[in-house]
Structure 1
Amino acid sequence: MAPSSNTRPILLIVDGDPEVLRALAFMAETRGYGVIGCATAAGALADLDGSVSCLVLDQNLPDVPGVRLLKQIRDAGIRTPALLMATSPSAALQIQAAAAAAPIVEKPLLDESLFQQIENLLAGA
């Protein structure tokens, strides 16, 4: 179910591939989300504020891995719900993501798993 316009959650989507970022932003907006899009971890850190409802972080960012960005965010005391997107995540990545309370959604994103995970995070599941 799409969020109502009164309680429109804001997603901070971070992906270094501009085409993927545009596609994810479009898909999120058609589902009623507001979107802040960033191509780098540095940009995400600059844009992260109290209005962001959920973080959608690609593991393969151009400046630092997504899980390292998430650790920086958590170390700063920010507990915004988050998920990582990764292709064939290693066991080590799965452990790191679990430690940061971030589910992993595997790429390519060919089904509704990304938005189902976002809904779960926003619902506190």
Structure 2
Amino acid sequence: MSAAPVKILVIDGEAAIRRLLRTGFSTQGYEIIDAPNGRAAIELLAQKPDLITLDLDLPDIPGFELLKVIRMRAETIPIVVLSGRDDGASKVQAFDLGADDYVTKPFGMDEFFARVRVALRHQLHAHGERSIFRVNDLSVDLVRRIVKVGQRDVNLSPKEYDLLRVLVQHAGQALTREFLLGKLWSSFTDAQYLRVYVRHLRQKIEVDPERPQYVLTEAGVGYRLRAPAPIARETQTHT
């Protein structure tokens, strides 16, 4: 079971396409918000989607103009253009304005979902993150936001997942309580909140929460997520 599902903003002037994508993405475990025009889409950017699909033929704002606006306001959000225009000039212009991929209508759902996953992985790699983090039996799929210990699915609350993701991003590093509080809460919060979420997270991913092997306490500093062991290189013997 995933925590804090990936949020996708679907911008499309065709109600049938919005319904199709809402149904399809929902079966993949994504959270969907949609907009029938550019103005509604700009308002929904405040909800901080993880990825945007963009139709170029909207009733109010030209698609390329909206693409410019989105890129100015959200530089790193992956954008997959979904358009009936299949000419090379439109594709080139979309990529030049910051689109991450371009899919023409009509389209196959399986291929489209695969392209969405690729765009999400590329975003992680651009920020120096692995799409899947593994250490011992713990695995964190940062694209699908799925956490497992061995074969067991771990159901985390959104805040628990956010804490784990920050630890994953800095695996092996001791993170101060102040740093974690600043990452997880926009306003001042007592360190007791952090201790509560650390305890909850340990109860869900540790075999023995009293003797954690993943989320480790750094005395006088804060917390550290155990880093994966380095891959041993084979040595060759030359005769």
Worse-superposed segment, 100-109 or 12-21: 100-109
Residue type matched to 1:23 in 2?
L
Residue type matched to 2:49 in 1?
V
Task: Give the aligned partner of residue 117 of structure 1.
Answer: 115
Pick aligned residue for 1:41 from 38, 42, 53: 38
Give TM-score scaled by structure 1 length: 0.87
Helix, strand or coil at the partner of 1:28: helix
The answer to whether 1:86 aligns with 2:80 is: no
Deviation >3 Å, runs of 4+: none
Aligned counterparts of 1:117 and 1:73: Cα–Cα separation in 2: 20
Q: For 1:39-75, what per-residue CA distance to the aligned partner results, in whole angstroms no more than 9, with x for missing partners?
A: 0011000011353100001111111232321111112
Aligned counterparts of 1:51 and 1:75: Cα–Cα separation in 2: 14
**RMSD between aligned alpha carbons?**
1.7
Task: Give the aligned partner of residue 17 of structure 2.
Answer: 20
Give TM-score scaled by structure 2 length: 0.48
Pick aligned residue for 1:53 from 46, 50, 55: 50
Are the equivalent residues in 2 in contact too, given 1:88–1:106 (CA < 8 A)? yes
Identity over aligned residues, as a percent? 28
Aligned counterparts of 1:122 and 1:59: Cα–Cα separation in 2: 21
The answer for unaligned runs of 5 or more in structure 2 is 124-239
Equivalent pairs, count: 122
Q: For 1:61-105, what per-residue CA distance to the aligned partner results, in whole angstroms no more than 9, with x for missing partners?
A: 111232321111112353211010112422221112212142111
Residue type matched to 2:107 in 1?
L
